[in-house]
Amino acid sequence: MTVMPAPLATGRGSWTKRGMRTTRGMYERGSSWGVSSCDTQDKWAVNRGVLAIQVMLGYNGYPVQYASAAGVFGPLTDASVIAFQNKFVAPADGIVGPNTSRALLRGFVASEEKKNGIPNRYLWGQIGAETGWDMGCIGYSTPNDLGICQFNLYFNQNVSPDQAMNPLYVIPISAQRLRTRYNEYLKLAGGNVELAWDAAILSHNSPVRARNLASTGTYPTAQAEDYVRKVKAAARIA
């Protein structure tokens, strides 16, 4: 388990250049640091983002063979990315931007949506709205929000930073929570399925506002309504 450096005033946000070894805001060969060189949270986020990419390459059948370079985007990771892109996404350039990241994540997210009975790709939309599908994302204004599903370490103290940055760990939990919240809010919403799902979506952003929405049928704030709208818009992105 690695030790995450103390959070900075703000985190990386989605697809920024902060913490990258290269000048571009994408994951590519030479973009990441070895974990021993991660003296800031930004560098650590890039290292863990690349490790998440390596994990998802393995899930999709393109394992990365590395010895002590977990989280480093070297030639073997580059080769696995290109092999994956050759089959699933163009161009096959070894660069992991939003299109390749979505392709790496889509099958696993869809399987968890199906397992938990989540309709309309709402889990997919939640991930997109929260992180733009950036596997190394750390909350831009809340540096304790980590990873593809933005697990807050303060409210999830049983989850380690490394676990929060691992898609295979957090996506199933996020799917289960979304379904659990729907089941909880359906009664409050008087059996209104659409309202219960809207409240379940909002619960990731604000459980208090979500319960209010389910109980009253009215969004408590414009920000709450905008959050649900953004999730639903992201759910339509392939």
Q: Is residue 213 part of a domain?
A: no
Q: What's the token pair of residue 133?
A: 């599908």
Q: Is the pLDDT of residue 7 over 80?
A: no
**Span 206-233, average pLDDT:** 98
Q: Are 85 and 77 in contact (CB under 8 A)?
A: no
Position 69 confidence tier, pLDDT thresholds 50, 70, 90: confident
pLDDT of 204 reads: 95
Q: Is residue 89 part of a domain?
A: yes
pLDDT of 140 reads: 76
Q: Is residue 135 part of a domain?
A: yes
Q: Express each pLDDT in 163-174 by its tens digit.
A: 999 999 999 999
Q: Is residue 230 part of a domain?
A: no
pLDDT of 10 reads: 67
Position 13 confidence tier, pLDDT thresholds 50, 70, 90: confident
Q: Express each pLDDT in 175-207 by its tens digit.
A: 999 999 999 999 999 999 999 999 999 999 999
pLDDT of 67 reads: 55
Tell me the CB-side half-sphere exposure of residue 81, using CA atoms within 13 A.
Answer: 25
Exposed (0-12), middle (13-18) or buried (19+): which is 82, by Cβ within 10 Å? middle
- Chain-centroid distance, C-alpha 79: 24
Q: What's the token pair of residue 200?
A: 């379940």
Q: What share of the chain in percent tops pLDDT 70? A: 97
For the chain, how many structural domains are there in total?
Answer: 1
Q: Is the pLDDT of residue 29 over 70?
A: yes
**Distance separating alpha carbons of residues 238 and 231, to the nearest angstrom:** 13
User: Mean pLDDT across the chain, nearest whole number?
Assistant: 94
Q: Is residue 86 part of a domain?
A: yes
Question: Which residues 6+ apart lie within 8 Å of 223 measured at CB?
Answer: none
Which three-class secondary structure state does DSSP give residue 161?
helix
Q: Is residue 161 part of a domain?
A: yes
Q: Is the pLDDT of residue 213 over 90?
A: yes
Question: Which residues 6+ apart lie within 8 Å of 17 measured at CB?
Answer: 23, 24, 25
Q: Is residue 210 part of a domain?
A: no
Read off the DSSP letter of residue 152. Answer: E
Helix, strand, coil in percent for the chain, rounding step 5: 55, 5, 45
Position 68 confidence tier, pLDDT thresholds 50, 70, 90: low
Q: Is residue 78 part of a domain?
A: yes
**Span 196-221, average pLDDT:** 97
Q: Are 78 and 89 in contact (CB under 8 A)?
A: no
Angle 143-146-152 from CA coordinates, rounded to 5°: 80
Which structural domain range is residue 134 located in?
A: 35-167
Question: Which residues 6+ apart lie within 8 Å of 2 measured at CB?
Answer: 35, 38, 44, 47, 48, 161, 162
pTM over 0.85, yes/no: yes
Q: Express each pLDDT in 107-150 by its tens digit.
A: 999 999 999 999 999 999 999 999 999 999 998 778 889 999 99
Q: Is the pLDDT of residue 218 over 90?
A: yes
Which three-class secondary structure state does DSSP give residue 217?
coil
Residue 81's nearest CA partner among 70, 96, 99, 60 is 96
pLDDT of 72 reads: 94
